[in-house]
Structure 1
Amino acid sequence: MPVKVSVEWIEDKCPEPQHCGKCLEICPCTVFVRYAADREPGNEPKHYIIVPSFQRFCILCRKCIEVCPNNAIRISVQG
C-alpha cells in the first residue's frame, strides 16, 4: 500500500520566513519554496510564505522539523 506524506507549514508560527528559511536550506529534497505573498510590480515584497510545493518528494527525514525554531512545520503520514 502506498504511503501518503503530508507536509504543512503553519504561517502563524513562522513570523519571518523571508529572514529564516532554515527549512529551505536543510531539506535534502527541496520540498519547500518561498514565495512573495504581496507581489506588486515595482515594489519590494513585504510578506513571504513558505509552501511545501513538492511534498511528494519528502523522504521523512524530519530535518525541517528539527531545525525550525518555531515548530512551524508538521508532517503526517497516511497509509
Structure 2
Amino acid sequence: MRTIVEIDYSKCTSPEECGVCLQVCPSAVFIMYFTDEDFHNPKEWKVEAMFTSLCSHCNLCVKKCPKNAISITVK
C-alpha cells in the first residue's frame, strides 16, 4: 500500500502563516522549509509531505486545512 499526500500549491500560498497541517498531523508527515537563499521572504516558504510512509490516513490535515489544499490517496 502506497500513500500519496498531495498539496495544491496554488491554494497553499502562505504556509509560514498557517502551518495547520504541521500542527495537527500526529505522524509528523509534513515539513516546512524555505526554497530561496532569503529565508526572510515569506513567499519562499513551502510545506511538503516528506514522510508519507508514516501517514496513518487519519485525514486530520485534509479536514483542518483552511485552504482545502491537501488530499490523500492510498494505492
TM-score of the aligned structures, taking structure 2 as reference length: 0.91
Counterpart of 1:7, as a letter, is V
**8 Å contact from structure 1 (residues 34, 50) kept in 2:** yes
Does 1:39 pair with 2:37?
yes
Does 1:69 pair with 2:66?
yes
Percent of aligned positions that are identical: 35
* Matching residue of 1:55: 52
RMSD, matched Cα:
1.2
Counterpart of 2:59, as a letter, is R
For residues 7-44 of structure 1, the C-alpha deviation after alignment (integer angstroms, 9 at most, x for no partner) is 1111111121010000000000000000101124xx62
Which of 2, 5, 20 is the aligned partner of 1:4? Answer: 2
TM-score of the aligned structures, taking structure 1 as reference length: 0.87
Larger Rg: 1
Structure 2 gap segments, 5+ residues each: none
